Amino acid sequence: MDPQEAFDGSDDKSLFHPVREWHVNRRGMAALAALCVAACSGEAPQPSPSVDSPGPWAPASAHFTVEADGSGRALQVEAWYPAPASDIAVAEEGFPLEAFEEGERRAQLAAWVAQAPEACTPRRAHSARNAEPADTGAPFPVLLLSHCTGGFRFGMHSVAERLAGHGFVVLAPDHLGNTHFDDEAPLDDAFLAVRAADMVRVLDAALAPGAPALPPGLRGRLDAARVGVLGHSFGAVTAGKVLELDARVRAGFLFAAPVDSPVLNSGGLSRIHRPLSWLLAKEDGSISSTGNQFIRENVAAAPRPTWLVELADAGHWSFTDIAGLGGAFTAGCGSSLRDPGGEPFTWLPNDTARAAAQRYAVAWARALLLEDAEAARQMDQAVPADVVRVWRR
């Protein structure tokens, strides 16, 4: 379905067009230009590297723990952050088993990875473990990342690594009770509130005076004025809920789920007043064509500037690092039937889908948090053109 079909009955269809068929949304670009002028009154942003590049820094990663509430419920959190470019040579390890202590969970994860098709679940991560953070000349902008239901904090580690290479710190907690190891929580609004509170608690710890919970090299180095949130699936809905609750968060980028639907968080979009953008998997059999229609309707009503990036032949987990993990998360790994229609097809190659997710996550983060006009221009581009379509309003 063309996204414009979501506007049947609307009085203003002109606001939402494919970027490649539309030269300029004057109001949206004027808003971005104003942001750039405001940024220039302080420290001017550095020239933007290509969003298709790994970035100028080596990605690094470290683990820390945050108490979620007064009950002693501990959140396991992964931080990805920029390290000196000299660490690029050592920024490679096995699928992040090293983040798990020796024991049952590490063994279980290793078995799941071994069982997964290699084209779907990458065998290697690319981060320098516990490296010293880079001196980038400015505080690090912060991104929160929320995993899907039944996932865990490494579900999109390649996206986190790419963002770290571009100078961002990415913080991703395991949502206790809703991971691949302990998936018992219901998919409902009550647990959505728990997940959103987890994210807020992680941000509180990261921005606290002295930030004692953080790895030492990151303490006091995060930019409280440049905070965004990303999420996949139930994590996308969680990201939207965080935007409702926490005024410190400036924008959200959501993968493969609406933030507001009759199923979850009904009416939530009306409570969000900061920009949202989406990546949509055209053949998402998990949320179905109906769920994708909800995404398009969300985009039509979301605060601007808003982008919608659609990936042809992509499934719900195509762009993650856990497609097919242990025989799960298979929508996006191998072959399936189209919805609707039922015709057989092969999913988009996972490396292609992951590269697109990395590209647009970086472009969005640079455009919205760093007020980078060149990144906004790159966000408008459909890359690769035979797979991606981009809309902006």
For position 331, which CATH number holds?
3.40.50.1820
- The count of structural domains within the chain is 1
Measured in degrees and rounded to the nearest 5, phi and psi for residue 187 equal -90, 80
Torsion of CA 266, 269, 271, 273, to 10 degrees: 170
What distance in Å separates the CA atoms of residue 392 and residue 371, rounded to the nearest whole number? 16
Nearest to 302 by CA among 341, 344, 260: 260
Structural domain of 314 = 3-392
Q: What is the pLDDT along the chain (393 residues), one digit of tens a residue?
A: 444 343 333 333 333 345 533 323 333 333 343 334 333 334 444 567 899 999 999 999 999 999 887 777 799 999 999 999 988 777 666 666 666 766 778 888 889 988 999 889 988 888 888 999 999 999 999 999 999 999 999 999 999 999 999 999 999 999 999 999 998 899 999 999 999 999 999 999 999 999 999 999 999 999 999 999 999 999 999 999 999 999 999 999 999 999 999 999 999 999 999 999 999 999 998 999 999 999 999 999 999 999 999 999 999 999 999 999 988 999 999 999 998 889 999 999 999 999 999 999 999 999 999 999 999 999 999 999 999 999 999
Nearest to 313 by CA among 277, 278, 352: 352
Nearest to 269 by CA among 289, 226, 299, 248: 299
Residue type, 51: V
Give yes or no for a contact between 187 and 149, defined as CB atoms under 8 angstroms apart.
Answer: yes
Say if residue 216 is preceded by a cis peptide, omega within 30 of 0: no
Indicate whether this model's pTM tops 0.95.
Answer: no
